[in-house]
Structure 1
Amino acid sequence: HPVESLHQKIAIIDGSYAFVGGVDPLIEFHGEFDRWDTHSHPFSTPLRQTDQGITPHPWHDAHSLIEGPAASDVELNFRERWNDVVHRHHGDKKRLVPEHPLPAPLESQTIMQIARTIPEHTYRFKPLIIRGIAQFYKNALSNIQEFVYLENQYFWLRNFIGIDIPFVGSDNAEMVQNISLLGTALQRGASMAIVLPDHPNVGRAFSDAGLARLRNEAPQAVEEGRVQAFTLATSMRDNGTEHYRPIYVHAKVAIVDDVWTTVGSGNLNNRGMRDDTEMNVATLDPELAYSLRLILQGEHLGLLHDDDLLTFALTRNKQYLSKQEQKQITRIRSYLESTIGDPLIAFHMMHEQAWANLARYKAKQALVGHLLPYLTADEAMQQGLNFYEEHGWVEERPK
């Protein structure tokens, strides 16, 4: 989709429950990028196989469940879009979606907001142009005090117009602003970690260029190790040899100071900020932001098994948990807090493990957890690694 696309990944149930995030609800039987996966991201498993019996690339993503009045904003978005198309094509009025009653209020400490990106000339309802996700990021990145943790499919400075050459096209104003705000926070002494895919479907060099601009904005932070970029991979031993596969990072997550967080479909590029139809949910909730960071970093560091991570992810729905599950959550939380509760210690652990895993990768040894350093093309070649323009350096290429 070189021009624009409907990129929202949402679902609404009875106007009271909504799902918003990055997960495409599909199973891909023929391709390499099936969306279903588990926290452990196995190299090969019979649970994830194409019609040819091959396990697709592992997939890392994030989605949110919204309950209560905020779900009505997701329903409104669907209703506006659906009804706009019915009216535009002079469809039967029976196809129009009526307004749903507002869900009952919930007892919650979470301050929540739904935001969209809707490009010009897409729908006829007002406002005709919506850039709420860009506004989210502007406000959040302007208020970084200690750290920001990002997971994203892209980190593009320039507008992507279907040509995978980063010096073609102009800078995207929203991403220029985001990178500038990140640079300002880093200059104030904040720290940043970002997780990116080693082999995005397009725009690998565009993300490299975005990181280069950021590093130029805050050279002292780079020198002090306060700007960290990671990618994810998995490994498996077969016939006496260790093999490696990149994990496709499709999540669009940001956490600022364990206070603010956003999850959604909006990527850090011109598409997510301006040119595609997107939806994100943002929250002001220290407990939620903190727990989400523990889950994500705990997964990447390999600190917990699948079952433990899934159980801990249910923490927000304590009313649905048995006493045994609550006891298990207390144990898991205590362990994660003692290990990565401090965000800066967690960043340091991620850095140490990523580079230790790079040494294991070179030595054909099993990875611990999933972290590797995100290396630009030049950095990969400096490490003596084979870098492929379209596939990064982790992917094993046929000889």
Structure 2
Amino acid sequence: MTQLLRTQAQEHVYDIEKLYLNAANNVCQFIYIENQYFRWGPLAEKIKQIAERQTSWGRDPAQHNAIHLFVITNDTNDGIGMGTLKTQEMLAQLGRADVIPGVTRLLRIKQIRADAPPKPQPETANDHAGQRKLDEWQAEQGRKTREAENSTVQAQEVPGLKVHVCSLVAPDSPEGQPWMPVYIHSKLMIVDDVFTTHGSANLNTRSMMVDSELNICHEHPAFSRPLRQRLWGMHTNRMGAQDEPELAFKAWGEMIRQNKEFKSKKLSPVASLVEFYYGETTVADFD
């Protein structure tokens, strides 16, 4: 059985929002997301919440494995566009601010300024005590800002959750040339090889709350598993399409490592799959 779901703000219909959150709430093994955008915070928060909740209820990742989240989305300026702020926020919720470090550092600096105590104001030119306080304030803010600018952004562990965030390049990108990014326009999520939704809705606020969108969903393993296997096989050159999420996660990690090495040596990629990385320092919040 297939269900149709809509976002239709004029009629106060937000079925797709509920669909994504309910599907994430029911995950047992893995979630696979392939979407043009990856910047809808409520979904990240739900996934994180479920992983932490299952761990608190006694799920031992060493014995039962963690929940695995596999994401493929755009990491170019054309793909992320004016949504870098929400993208960073979603990645940070999942412990992966490390793949968008420039924006993360800018936001850290912004937070430092917001948390700063009031700037001292010397009352007169001869207010030496006031001037000394101002100098100390400026020195301290400058120190904190420099630390943020030079800080290393590292991945953070989320209890019970393992996350790969990836993008795609042309697998036949020639040696000695920049790899050609593949523009991702999918709007797909698969959960545990059972549940699938696809349609017109992106993972952003506009698709969930504003624009008119239409998705379908179904719980049909005979469709969901072959679809996931086909996509993973295509993206990983048949090296990362294992049915066991733990094995697939390790294979994706090795592929990410190899492609980083090959890219640094200006070789052709081993497969389309590469780690998501956005190194620009543009903060934009147009969703």
Q: TM-score, normalised by structure 2?
A: 0.67
Identity %: 28
Structure 1 segment 123-202 matched on structure 2, within 5 A: 128-157=11-40, 175-176=41-42, 178-187=43-52, 188=54, 189-199=66-76, 200=79, 202=81
Residue 112 in structure 1 maps to residue 2 in structure 2:
yes
1:207 is aligned to 87
Secondary structure of 2:178's match? strand
Structure 1 segment 262-281 matched on structure 2, within 5 A: 262-281=197-216
2:19 partner letter: F
Name the larger-Rg structure: 2
Distance change >3 Å, CA 201–CA 190, structure 1 → 2: closer
Shift >3 Å, 4+ stretches: 218-222, 235-238, 387-390
d(CA) in 1 for partners of 2:32 and 2:260? 21
Q: Deviations over 1:316-346 (max 9, x none)?
A: xxxxxxxxxxxxxxxxxxxx9xx61223212
Q: CA deviation at 1:244?
A: 1.1
2:198 partner letter: V
Residue 231 in structure 1 maps to residue 167 in structure 2:
yes
1:346 partner letter: A
Indicate conservation of the 8 Å contact 1:147/1:190, yes or no. yes
1:153 partner letter: Q
Indicate conservation of the 8 Å contact 1:179/1:213, yes or no. yes
d(CA) in 2 for partners of 1:182 and 1:368? 30
Secondary structure of 2:179's match? strand
Q: Comparing both chains, which one has the higher relative contact order based on Cα–Cα distances under 8 Å and sequence gaps of 6 or more?
A: 2
Residue 221 in structure 1 maps to residue 221 in structure 2:
no
Root-mean-square deviation (Å): 2.7
Q: CA deviation at 1:227?
A: 1.1
Q: Deviations over 1:124-147 (max 9, x none)?
A: xxxx12111111112101111111
Q: CA deviation at 1:355?
A: 2.1
Distance change >3 Å, CA 219–CA 358, structure 1 → 2: closer
Q: Gaps spanning 5+ residues in structure 2: where?
A: 55-65, 97-154
d(CA) in 1 for partners of 2:282 and 2:264? 20
Indicate conservation of the 8 Å contact 1:252/1:266, yes or no. yes
Q: CA deviation at 1:201?
A: 5.1
Distance change >3 Å, CA 253–CA 115, structure 1 → 2: same
Secondary structure of 2:157's match? helix
2:205 partner letter: N
Indicate conservation of the 8 Å contact 2:229/2:242, yes or no. yes
d(CA) in 1 for partners of 2:9 and 2:188? 22
1:363 is aligned to 265
2:47 partner letter: L
Greater shift, 186-195 or 275-284, is seen at 186-195
d(CA) in 2 for partners of 1:350 and 1:214? 18
Secondary structure of 2:248's match? helix
Q: 1:291 aligns with which of 206, 219, 226?
A: 226
Q: TM-score, normalised by structure 1?
A: 0.49
1:210 partner letter: M
Q: CA deviation at 1:184?
A: 1.8
Greater shift, 262-271 or 207-216, is seen at 207-216
Higher helix share: 2
Q: CA deviation at 1:208?
A: 2.2
